Structure 1
Amino acid sequence: MAETLLAIDDLRVTFGVGRLHVAAVEGVSLRLEAGESLGLVGESGSGKSTVLRAVTGLAPVAGGSIRLAGEPVRLPRGMDFYRTVQMVFQDPFASLHPRHTVDQILAEPLAIHRVADADARIVTALAEVGLGPSYRFRYPHQLSGGQRQRVAIARALVLRPRLVLLDEPTSALDASVQAEILNLLETLRRELGLSYVLVSHDLAVVAHLCERLVVMRRGRIVEETTADALRSGTVRDAYTREMLRASKGFTREPPAGSGLQPS
């Protein structure tokens, strides 16, 4: 029986008070098994990114529970949490310190966690994302958007986490570069035994990386489905069907020339 790596029960996240009170997430429950990739999809404002931020402690939890490998997640998050869970953000330029070299960016988490053999770890992490040692001493502004996102992925992997949270990791990239990053993420999950929770509004992106998908609307889960169900159009909820119709040309199989490999 597979291990439940992440368990979220009746999660609620609210912002503001009184008349400004906003319920961003209401009663969300989900499970992620070890080695699995789960997609959270929905329109802007559906609460999908807020779920990731609640897991990492970046959004206030108003109710419910979050468990990691069977243990309750504490507030504030401890060092052990960040050894197990890392996050890759949407905008690689904004998430990387502009005045730090790639070497400094990757060395920082290793120093915080007092990890030995930092040099070897950095070189290995860069190689895993397809960047050579020459990239160590470049600054973010000297890299392309795809290279910056590879550095962000390397930073997430350098501590050897089990779970990586991906918040729209390709939406700020050109289509051809998106394909490269998606194939990279799929290869890394397979080779390193990672688990993913991927947030995206792009059904094709989520279906490429994820076996199972959770559809959110207005802070709630409206349907849990699979990539195969999206391909065949056998989804149950009307909102999910609307999303499929809005995704013109959506297909489980990548378009010719995209560089994507079928899952």
Structure 2
Amino acid sequence: MIGLKVDKLQVRFGDFTAVHELSFEVAPGESFGLVGESGSGKSTVLRAICGLAPRAGGHIELTGAEGQLPISRRVQMVFQDPYGSLHPRQTVDRMLAEPLAIHRIGDAERRITAMLDAVGLGAAFRFRYPHQLSGGQRQRVAIARALILEPQLLLLDEPTSALDASVQAEVLNLLEALRRERGLSFVMVSHDLAVVTHLCERLMVMRQGGAVETLAAPALARGEVGEAYTRELMKASAGFVRT
């Protein structure tokens, strides 16, 4: 298992600072959430961790890591939109085989079959195209693609927000089962507090690129929060209330 330490992370796009000296730690095997309104910088943090956003300052470190595997093998990301993250002209087989070929990992036949079984699809889906899959099935393929390299840290950017409510629960339960079976660490971004409290053990509330507070998920579920902004976020997440 590996953990993550983010120390005073800054991300800038020109003159705009998207993330302001953000710091947090994720213990090996822990599931950690980042929550906040749109534009709070939470997805940018994930992209900075995996090198997809420019880091203007700060330090990112994998903790408890052993061996010489590159970070691209240790850390993988599942994106928000299963309709946009899969290549429309590639079969499931090719999408799963490509990362294995890039990293020169053999035994592709067995690995692909085993991974499709692990995400609840099976070999029957191996040669289908994305347009032949439902939204939930596409996200399962995206999860399989992320896990085919056997990473130890998985970054989840709103992994269920584009799915129907019934399918959301299935995907969340799948992710939790995979985390426990494989000893994974998670960093999950979501605007949905119910999703975060279901999957994560701790979470950080973000606003305008900075940290508001960090608390345990059970405390959030009980409404035991310290900051007014977090209480407002809880009200917004619960939906509109008629008066």
| 1:139-162: CA deviation from partner (whole Å, max 9, x where unpaired) | 001100000000000001101000
Instruction: Using the TM superposition, give the Cα deviation of residue 69 of structure 1 relative to its aligned residue in structure 2, in angstroms.
Output: 2.5
Deviates more, 1:131-140 or 1:62-71: 62-71
Match of 1:13 among 11, 14, 34: 11
Aligned equivalent of 1:234? 224
SS in 2 for 1:94: coil
Instruction: Using the TM superposition, give the Cα deviation of residue 247 of structure 1 relative to its aligned residue in structure 2, in angstroms.
Output: 2.2
Q: 8 Å contact 2:7–2:24 — kept in the other structure?
A: yes
Superposition misfits of 4+ residues, deviation over 3 angstroms: none
Aligned equivalent of 2:155? 165
| 1:32-80: CA deviation from partner (whole Å, max 9, x where unpaired) | 1110000000000000000000011110000001111267xxxxxx971
Match of 2:186 among 170, 193, 196: 196
Letter in 1 for 2:188: L
How does the TM-score come out when normalised to structure 1?
0.88
1:138 aligns with 2:128: yes
Change (3 A) 1:4 1:133: closer
Match of 2:171 among 181, 198, 218: 181
Q: 8 Å contact 2:152–2:184 — kept in the other structure?
A: yes
Instruction: Using the TM superposition, give the Cα deviation of residue 105 of structure 1 relative to its aligned residue in structure 2, in angstroms.
Output: 0.1
| 1:106-147: CA deviation from partner (whole Å, max 9, x where unpaired) | 000000111110010000110000001010100001100000
Instruction: Using the TM superposition, give the Cα deviation of residue 86 of structure 1 relative to its aligned residue in structure 2, in angstroms.
Output: 0.3
SS in 2 for 1:95: coil
CA distance in 2: counterparts of 1:69 and 1:103, whole angstroms: 33
Instruction: Using the TM superposition, give the Cα deviation of residue 244 of structure 1 relative to its aligned residue in structure 2, in angstroms.
Output: 1.1
1:151 aligns with 2:141: yes
SS in 2 for 1:137: coil
For these two proteins, the number of residue pairs brought into alignment is 237
1:29 aligns with 2:26: no
Instruction: Using the TM superposition, give the Cα deviation of residue 4 of structure 1 relative to its aligned residue in structure 2, in angstroms.
Output: 6.2
Aligned equivalent of 1:246? 236
Question: 5+ residue gaps in structure 2?
Answer: none
Match of 2:58 among 35, 50, 64: 64
Letter in 1 for 2:36: G
Letter in 1 for 2:119: V
Letter in 1 for 2:52: L
Aligned equivalent of 1:38? 32
Q: 8 Å contact 2:79–2:158 — kept in the other structure?
A: yes
SS in 1 for 2:126: helix
1:90 aligns with 2:80: yes
RMSD: 1.4
Q: 8 Å contact 1:165–1:198 — kept in the other structure?
A: yes
How does the TM-score come out when normalised to structure 2?
0.95
Change (3 A) 1:70 1:60: farther
SS in 1 for 2:145: helix
Instruction: Using the TM superposition, give the Cα deviation of residue 248 of structure 1 relative to its aligned residue in structure 2, in angstroms.
Output: 1.9
CA distance in 2: counterparts of 1:187 and 1:218, whole angstroms: 33
CA distance in 2: counterparts of 1:201 and 1:246, whole angstroms: 10
CA distance in 2: counterparts of 1:70 and 1:217, whole angstroms: 30
Aligned equivalent of 1:256? none
Letter in 2 for 1:5: G
CA distance in 2: counterparts of 1:211 and 1:106, whole angstroms: 30
SS in 1 for 2:29: coil
Letter in 2 for 1:216: M
| 1:158-216: CA deviation from partner (whole Å, max 9, x where unpaired) | 01000000000000001111010001001111111111000000000000000100000
